[in-house]
Structure 1
Amino acid sequence: MTTAPSLDSARTRPAPAFPLPDLTTSLPAGPVEASPAALAEAERITAAAPDELFRRLLADQESESALLAARRVLTAFLTPDAQPPTRPGTTTTTTATDADGDADALADAVAADVLAARAELAAALAPLRDHEDPEIRAAVLRQRAPLALTGGCWLDTVSQAATQPAEIVGRLFGQHWLLQGQGTAEAGQPARRRRALAAQGVYLPQVEAAGFLRDTGARPLTALHAAFRVALSRLPAAFLPEVVGVHYAAHALGVDELLLGGEPMLAESDVRPLLAEYLAFTAHSPTGPEDRRRALAAVRLLVRLEREHTEALTALARRREGLSLDDKVAAIVARHAPHAGRQHRAVRLGTRKLTDWLDDEHLDAAAFVAEFRTARQVRPARDGGPCRFLKSIKFGGPMFGIFDEREAAVFTAWTRSIAAGEPAGPLSGPETAGDEAARRWSARLAAARPAGLVVREAEPALDHRAFFHRLVNFERYPNVLPLARARAESGLADAELLFTHGAGGLLTNAEYFDYTPEALLERVERIYWDKLVDPYEPLTEIPDREEVVFEQSTYALGSLIDGTWAHRVANLGRRGRRADDMLFSIYADEMGRGDMAKNHITIIHKVLASMDMDLPHIRQEAFLDQGDLPDHLYGFSVHQVCLSLFPDTLYDEILGYNLGIEMFGLGAMRLHEIQKLRRHGLDVSYEEAHLSIDNFSAGHARQSAEIVVAHLDDVRRASGEEAVRQAWRRVWRGYASFAYFVEHALVKRVRSAQAGPTTAPAAADLVI
């Protein structure tokens, strides 16, 4: 463990300007702060069985312990000596040196090695894809499904406040936008792969379903590989070089398309330019050589993992090719035994009760099948009809519905072979595909100790600047999450003040009302016309330049985190609601859909530079010292980032907040700012972008209201009217929490009236 430097020590250093284009190739390294309790829980998570580790990482994107567990998984996989030697007869991947050199030439050398590895994999996968036995094909595809359906998740949150507007992040996000169907989940890569699986007769629940891994029959190696992918999706800012390397290698190899057929959404020729650009950026980075090494090591790792998994799939198919009927029956018994319960109390098999056989957690399936072959339940009926066991699993029998059609067919063939006097087939024992590699990774995981951990509780009395710094860099400060949750809840509770008094707002109306779709649309229309549009009259007097720049500085911090509230919505396992796609599309617009010229964070930096405000990036410690944005303006942005860190439990509130902030881009205030900026020859592109994209006809303002309607419509279908009422109150709390910061004068008046003339200044008066 190490000791973290005090953030106060950074405040004595000058604050360098943040240049555009942002050629960042990795974020500053530093200590990672972890609370003792969360660190202990992370150790329990990573000590769990591989399937449970995967489920926990997938399900939990809000806790400190899950982030620490993800970091430990990445340490296990990314530590250099974790990669075993290349087998004889395979390419080394990569032979390309990690040293300085021409980026295009280096990318081409990497590509040559990766494409050679792809050729090897294609040769190994072709017999599996074209196997004559449809059951073996389906078994292979089910085993691959956890990786096929998590592919690309490492890009889910690569775009965030800490990483935007890095050029490489913009390029990655543009490809993420494509892979996610450009705002339509059914057109995206996961849905396409799911349809391809279904065409092969493989029907699976959603990735987030409790039974997903069970239904795929996932081996420990499959679950560990999937856990690595999800872990990388949780810490993409801290592991940006590895994201680049994994992204390139996964799409260049294209294992899932080799197995499933069809054209890839991103081929090697699509991702090689991105890799080359990243390698070119490293030439301008102070950490360039190390970043280049990390990215290329990630390429090598991903190639190793895909080879490893292909070997496991081949072993799985080979074993199934040689399975006897007795083997198949043993596998069916082993699958159902844990769920057999105590329904067979009076039934005996050999010298033991059937319940004793099935309750044994170390069930010897081979011994069970050998005993079952001689049982009276499988003896041929005297009338030549089905044996007693087959009758019991048919319609009307006591075991009907327990076994699926395929399993029933196996039992039928097996009992017929017994009736025909055929001897017992050889039993190959339990499935072991990939187990040797899985044991190696599990040992690595048990021994993994992430570097730079500082074990301590988060400081509860941080000032706004230090708190904001930790929130933006939450991957390095996971112990800030409990404080962030408390701050978000406090802000939402405070905002309910406007449920009663919100009609008096200058730019908003957060007064509570009973929800119907019509009532919501009427409210937002009235806000649009009565508070944003109709009051507009051109300014007859323009403030001087200094005052205009100061006013812009009061909005700047919020602009520098534009879109942050939505950046963690609609990632892996969370795109089943119509609102998810709709909100993801708004976020994509804010980020320019990968076009950095349209990226709102790029635009605001250019605007601020036109005002001679050359700020450091908000992720940098130097930002703690910036002198252009006053301390009392941080509350609004702190609240927004706090909300963003809880996209599951504060989902409703995020939708309401989104409605408030998207409407804020319209009307008199925005038009006045444009008029003032133009008068002094300052950049108006940020104001104009919002006035256009947030339009109330079909833009973000209208879409944000429709998102709420779509979400509550889904809630109604799933859970009824009472659930809608509860969800609506939470949505409106989110809207009110935006209004609370905007309407600081109103909040101050109400607080003063409630508490009398000695009231201290309201918190909301200290923000925008």
Structure 2
Amino acid sequence: MNAHTGFPLPDLTTSLPRAPFHFSPKAAEEAAAVIAGELAGVFRQLLGDQESETTLLVSRRTLEAFLTTAQSESQPPSQPSSQPRGDADADAVAAWVQQTRAELAPDLVALREADPETRELVLRQRAPLALIGGCWLDTVSQAATQPSVIVNRLFGQYFLLQGEGIPQRGQLARRRRALTELGVHLPEIEAADFLRQASARPLTVLHASFHLALSRLPASFLPEVVGVHYAMAALGVDDLLLGTEPHLPEAEARTVLADYLSLTDRSPTGDEDRRRTLTAIALVLRLEREHTALLTELAAWHEGLSLDARVAQIVARHAPFAGRQHRSVRMGDRRLSDWLDGEDLDLAAFVAEFRASRQLRPGRDGTCRFLKSIKFGGPMFGIFDEREAATFTAWAHAVAAGEPADLDFAPNTAGDDRAEGWARALRGTAAEDLADVVLADAESGLDDRRLFHRVVNVEQYPHILATARDRAEAGLTDAEILFTHGAGGRLTNAEYFDYTPEALMERVERVYWDKLVDPYQPLTEIPDRDEVIFEQTTFALGSLIDGSWAHRIGNLGRNHRQSDAMLFGIYADEMGRGDVTKNHITLIHQVLASMDIHLPHIRQPEFLEQGDLPDHLYGFSIHQVCLSLFPDTLYNEILGYNLGIEMFGLGEMRLHEIQKLRRHNLDISYEEAHLSIDNFSAGHARQSADIIVSYLDDVRRTSGDAAVQQEWRRIWRGYASFAYFVEHQLVKRMRAGERTPAASAPTVQPDDVDLLI
């Protein structure tokens, strides 16, 4: 055994060591282009692409802009100077945040009680922030951070915000319902035109981009995650605006903050971690002040609009879609299509001409041609919504009554002065100027230990993503050999079959009974202690990343399929639903400790040198982590892999391990947890099959039966890729061109299975 101290439990980590971020030069060019473009492009990059190093570099630059500005700039005059000292407890921090909440509450309540049209405009503007709430916790739980006590506490609250596995009762769904009840109807946040339909101002887009950026690098910015999480929950701006009860009460969020501050007292980096947390809280207070001010400015601007100005706003919204169907309609000496086709539409001139046009002149019945055209049966019916039609009606009547024109239109500049400062800071963060960014292509020819270290610490090594994708694809391709020969597996059957729900259930039931349960007989001879411990070391590396294949499932913008919620529920179970004592990574460390094996954490450089776990086992764990990094493009494969790994927790192998561990008074908690939670009646094994059926049901409804078989083949590749690593001897025989006999031996020998989970 090694002489290193290893990784002690409980894991009291308060921050990961500061380390350089490695990006390729190509990613630097792509990130620079994104940031130099329109601000909405930054938002869309951060939200829409969770698989590229470009996104991670945009995130790093965004965080640099906001956090460095927050740290270096003095407090604005409007900000109270009551920021607590670095050694303040959670109650002192809470009092500081509550002071800001009390300052903002009257303005937010006034906005909530504004007239319906103004309130709808305000809520629509706030929606990009309301509907990403909690995103900073999306991937705080990952292989590099588990089983940290504070990460588990945060994950427990994330699980609550996600509806405890039922998205319809989570915070996002509740906020959407509240917005809908108040007349705000928006597409899903990942929709291409979400920001346009929200009429998002530049400051709104920038604030939302900060939160999204934090969600992409939470392990590297754990102190900031703690601060942002508490401050957003404690301020409760969205609940004050919507008139809703908080999904996560301030008192519960404060307990996590208190736990974290207590942990920093025992951490060698505690002072720095506290400073970073308080800086993040101060930044949130500043941002929420800024956004409340934006909303107040927006409401005042809207309420100050004349009828002429409101008509101008409606015209501006619809002009880009007017087309050329108005060629026969003239206003003054110009065709209407010529007015509307121009890129620089002079709204004041247009409205002035419109006021004087024959289309607005009342007829004998008192109604003008324009109002008739927008009613049912008219050529423009359905173009304008009810509120817009009502505005046009009031305006036409006012013009007919001789009310003078008010064409001095005030532009909507709400928040623009503050947005300019943040945009300037963002665009001034060139990658090559950041002290902790290294620009270089990923090394080629890495051995498995070093590749494993990099994919586990992918936030620090984003340039490894292309290699990780190649490695995942290679593993999936290799595994297809089992499509033909997989029936000979001892613990799996990856032979291909055409999908139907019944065929899938028949296959998994046959694997369960024929390969996992029926062969079981209690061991009559128990290996000696050293042999049992050695066998456990062959399992341990896979166990140390338990659940990681699903850690990115259900992130913001992706948790809309039933299969997403179901798979997220499995991941939450693997992580103990926030209870660190039930976390499977905690359990495997306990098991190893009972054997006097004390490993460094897998994220630590020291793990590269550990001598307890055999080198030839890294391939399986690398494959699993690589799959997890591509939850969109390898989604199907993850579903199939999940089925394989969850079924593997059952039956003969697990029962034999429990028998051997008990004989030598070694910890059996990890084995018992899987034997229970993975049960085939209603546990993870059954759920994993149900997830596949649910997903393919969605495919059938949207794309038809042919698409189902295409999607299914990819799913089964994922299952086969698990079997490929488990059925080591079968694969060796196939590679050697041997005929594969059916397996019938009642026990699994260590050399029959490459690794077990």
For normalisation by structure 2, the TM-score amounts to: 0.96
Residue 113 of structure 2 is matched in structure 1 by 130
Aligned ranges 1:270-669 → 2 under 5 Å:
270-381=252-363, 383-449=364-430, 450-669=434-653
Quote the Cα distance in structure 2 between the aligned partners of 1:201 and 1:154.
Answer: 28
Residue 236 of structure 1 is matched in structure 2 by 218
Residue 31 of structure 1 is matched in structure 2 by 20
Out of 715, 723, 747, which is 1:739 matched to? 723
Quote the Cα distance in structure 2 between the aligned partners of 1:691 and 1:526.
Answer: 18
Quote the Cα distance in structure 1 between the aligned partners of 2:194 and 2:335.
Answer: 32
Q: 1:766 to 1:595 in 2, by over 3 A?
A: closer
Identity of aligned residues (%): 68
Quote the Cα distance in structure 1 between the aligned partners of 2:665 and 2:350.
Answer: 85
Check if 1:49 corresponds to 2:9: no
Quote the Cα distance in structure 2 between the aligned partners of 1:251 and 1:506.
Answer: 51
Check if 1:256 corresponds to 2:221: no
Deviations along 1:335-394, one digit per CA (max 9) or x if unpaired, are 11222222223433334433333232232222221222122222222x224322222222
Contact 1:465 1:634 in 2 (8 A): yes
Query: Offset of 1:682 from its aligned partner?
Result: 0.8
SS at match of 2:142: coil
Quote the Cα distance in structure 2 between the aligned partners of 1:136 and 1:318.
Answer: 9
Q: 1:674 to 1:309 in 2, by over 3 A?
A: same
Q: 1:623 to 1:15 in 2, by over 3 A?
A: farther
Check if 1:67 corresponds to 2:56: yes
Deviations along 1:502-523, one digit per CA (max 9) or x if unpaired, are 0000000001111111111111
Query: Offset of 1:205 from its aligned partner?
Result: 1.3
Quote the Cα distance in structure 1 between the aligned partners of 2:297 and 2:147.
Answer: 45
Deviations along 1:139-193, one digit per CA (max 9) or x if unpaired, are 1111111111101000011000000000000000000011111000011011111
Query: Offset of 1:46 from its aligned partner?
Result: 1.6
Contact 2:640 2:715 in 1 (8 A): yes
Residue 8 of structure 1 is matched in structure 2 by none
SS at match of 2:326: coil
Quote the Cα distance in structure 1 between the aligned partners of 2:663 and 2:318.
Answer: 76
Out of 99, 104, 123, which is 1:121 matched to? 104
Residue 4 of structure 1 is matched in structure 2 by none
Quote the Cα distance in structure 1 between the aligned partners of 2:317 and 2:712.
Answer: 44
Q: Structure 2: which 5+ runs fail to align?
A: 741-751
Query: Offset of 1:719 from its aligned partner?
Result: 1.2
Query: Offset of 1:708 from its aligned partner?
Result: 0.5
SS at match of 2:89: helix
Check if 1:161 corresponds to 2:136: no
Query: Offset of 1:402 from its aligned partner?
Result: 1.7
Deviations along 1:573-615, one digit per CA (max 9) or x if unpaired, are 1111000110000000000001111000001011111111100
SS at match of 1:399: coil
Quote the Cα distance in structure 2 between the aligned partners of 1:590 and 1:372.
Answer: 65
Quote the Cα distance in structure 2 between the aligned partners of 1:444 and 1:335.
Answer: 31
Check if 1:195 corresponds to 2:190: no
Check if 1:692 corresponds to 2:710: no
Quote the Cα distance in structure 1 between the aligned partners of 2:57 and 2:51.
Answer: 11
SS at match of 2:85: coil
SS at match of 2:438: strand
Check if 1:112 corresponds to 2:95: yes
Residue 7 of structure 1 is matched in structure 2 by none
Deviations along 1:117-143, one digit per CA (max 9) or x if unpaired, are 100010221111112x11111111111
Quote the Cα distance in structure 2 between the aligned partners of 1:346 and 1:307.
Answer: 50
Contact 2:239 2:246 in 1 (8 A): yes
Quote the Cα distance in structure 1 between the aligned partners of 2:738 and 2:376.
Answer: 71
Contact 2:4 2:598 in 1 (8 A): no
Residue 701 of structure 1 is matched in structure 2 by 685
Contact 1:15 1:625 in 2 (8 A): no
For normalisation by structure 1, the TM-score amounts to: 0.94
Q: Structure 1: which 5+ runs fail to align?
A: 1-12, 757-763
Contact 1:221 1:438 in 2 (8 A): yes
Deviations along 1:668-721, one digit per CA (max 9) or x if unpaired, are 000001111111111110000000000001100000000101111111111111
SS at match of 2:657: helix
Letter of the aligned partner of 2:19 in structure 1? G
Check if 1:750 corresponds to 2:731: no
Q: 1:93 to 1:53 in 2, by over 3 A?
A: farther
Contact 1:326 1:427 in 2 (8 A): no
Query: Offset of 1:397 from its aligned partner?
Result: 2.6
Query: Offset of 1:80 from its aligned partner?
Result: 4.2
Check if 1:146 corresponds to 2:131: no
Quote the Cα distance in structure 2 between the aligned partners of 1:413 and 1:407.
Answer: 10
Letter of the aligned partner of 2:395 in structure 1? W
Contact 2:566 2:691 in 1 (8 A): yes
Query: Offset of 1:460 from its aligned partner?
Result: 2.1
Contact 2:132 2:172 in 1 (8 A): yes
Contact 2:584 2:670 in 1 (8 A): yes
Letter of the aligned partner of 1:206 in structure 2? E
Contact 2:23 2:441 in 1 (8 A): yes
Letter of the aligned partner of 2:67 in structure 1? L
Contact 2:733 2:739 in 1 (8 A): no
Check if 1:204 corresponds to 2:204: no
Quote the Cα distance in structure 2 between the aligned partners of 1:737 and 1:325.
Answer: 65
Alignment coverage as a number of residue pairs: 742
Contact 1:16 1:622 in 2 (8 A): no
Check if 1:97 corresponds to 2:85: yes
Q: 1:80 to 1:282 in 2, by over 3 A?
A: farther
Quote the Cα distance in structure 2 between the aligned partners of 1:752 and 1:177.
Answer: 48
Which region of structure 1 is more displaced relative to structure 2, 669-678 or 283-292? Answer: 283-292
Quote the Cα distance in structure 2 between the aligned partners of 1:459 and 1:125.
Answer: 52
Residue 759 of structure 1 is matched in structure 2 by none
Query: Offset of 1:495 from its aligned partner?
Result: 0.8
Letter of the aligned partner of 2:417 in structure 1? E
SS at match of 1:127: helix
Quote the Cα distance in structure 1 between the aligned partners of 2:11 and 2:687.
Answer: 31
SS at match of 1:79: helix
Contact 1:221 1:435 in 2 (8 A): yes
Deviations along 1:463-487, one digit per CA (max 9) or x if unpaired, are 0000000000001111011111111
Contact 2:620 2:725 in 1 (8 A): yes
Residue 3 of structure 1 is matched in structure 2 by none
Residue 716 of structure 1 is matched in structure 2 by 700
